[in-house]
Amino acid sequence: TSPFRIVGAHTDSPCLRVKPRPDGGGFGWRQLGVEVYGGALLNSWLDRDLGVAGRVVLSDGSAVDVAVHEPIARVPQLAIHLDRDVNDKGLLLDKQQHLTPVWGTGAAADGDFVNWLGAQANVSAADIAWWDLCLFDTTKAALLGSDRSLLASARLDNQLSCWAAVDALTAAAASETTSVIALFDHEEVGSESASGASGPLLSTVLERLSALRGADREGFHRALASSSCVSADNAHAVHPNYPERHEPGHRPLVNRGPAIKVNANQRYATNAETAAAFQRACERADVPWQVFVSRNNMPCGSTIGPLTATALGIPTVDVGVPQLSMHSARELCGVHDPIYLAQALSAYFSE
């Protein structure tokens, strides 16, 4: 069986998710109960026009996708006149008390949200059994800067890497390896779910692909032993206002190519061999590359890379496009780096 060339990424981003019984409010305001998903920069969700998107499950078990791109809700910040010290002492937000958005005026009543949701989904409210819905900033992605060298958008972490993986797969030349992209949910909350990287999805799919090619269990494990994985998840670009927060010798710049992410304590799965392999892919694609390492006194986050390497025993490299404002409702990266990443991944698939 041919070895696998895998690119993994995650589809989820920190956000505000609508609770099962969201109707509430007071003092003439109608409000929506929400739960904070992941490690969001909470202040970035204030004073933004928020839409609603997700999936509605009906009583017969069928599902309907919903995306309302109109301003429906807003988390209003307290006026400075009522919080005089906010600029000196910083903004303190209680997730339960201060992040409940308003979505109308008048007296709140049970059933308000489900009735509105039914109209948006073109179904009867009585047929709605459950939902997975989140709020999102309705501001569209935009090119930014006098030279239009920056991209501002929601969910760059990590749908940018998902786009690059898909683009790379469709552009890759034929090779003797089996190219796979694996786009997981729930990375921002630990990956422990049926659709997360800690679940059995990837290993099951790879084993079934091997079986379709006539491999037995031994053949499958031989294929894994010669396989490799690129875990693609955005990296921290050096922040011009906070350069001291970055490790001096490893501070990625925007529009200078993807960063190879290294952590000696295995928060990233990169080792010398996998780093060198991704470097070769960048060089074949004529793409610049960089290195990211966190400060010793400022531990980094993690990715699906170590989970994949541990579960499957596949050598893995962690890479990512440098960005600012990670986990904000609206993030920022260079316009060239997503393309650089896609080109490097395509060269990796084509090896």
CA 39 to chain centroid, in Å, comes to 11
The CATH H-level superfamily of 15-137 is: Aminopeptidase i, Domain 2 (2.30.250.10)
- Are the C-beta atoms of residues 6 and 31 closer than 8 Å to each other? no
In terms of Cβ atoms closer than 10 Å to its own Cβ (0-12, 13-18, 19+), residue 202 is buried
For 123-178, write each residue's pLDDT tens digit: 999 999 999 999 999 999 999 999 999 999 999 999 999 999 999 999 999 889 99
150 vs 65: CA distance, rounded Å: 31
Residue that is written with structure tokens 């053949």 in the block = 219
Stretch 10-27: mean pLDDT: 97
Residues with Cβ within 8 Å of residue 50, at least 6 apart in sequence: 16, 71, 72, 73, 74, 75, 101, 135, 136, 137, 138
Closest CA to 152 of 140, 135, 134: 140
CATH 2.30.250.10 maps onto the chain at 15-137
CATH 3.40.630.10 maps onto the chain at 4-12+141-349
Residue type at 157 in one-letter notation: D
Stretch 25-45: mean pLDDT: 97
Residues with Cβ within 8 Å of residue 57, at least 6 apart in sequence: 63, 128, 129, 130, 131, 132
DSSP-based three-state secondary structure for 82: helix
Residue type at 273 in one-letter notation: E
179 vs 6: CA distance, rounded Å: 6
For 224-241, write each residue's pLDDT tens digit: 999 999 999 999 999 999
**Degrees, nearest 5: CA angle 303-263-12:** 15
Model confidence at 56, pLDDT cuts 50, 70, 90, reads: very high
Stretch 36-45: mean pLDDT: 97
Residue 94, pLDDT above cutoff 90: yes
Residues with Cβ within 8 Å of residue 153, at least 6 apart in sequence: 141, 142, 330, 331
122 vs 251: CA distance, rounded Å: 50
271 vs 268: CA distance, rounded Å: 9
Does domain 4-12+141-349 sit in CATH 1.10.4160.10? no
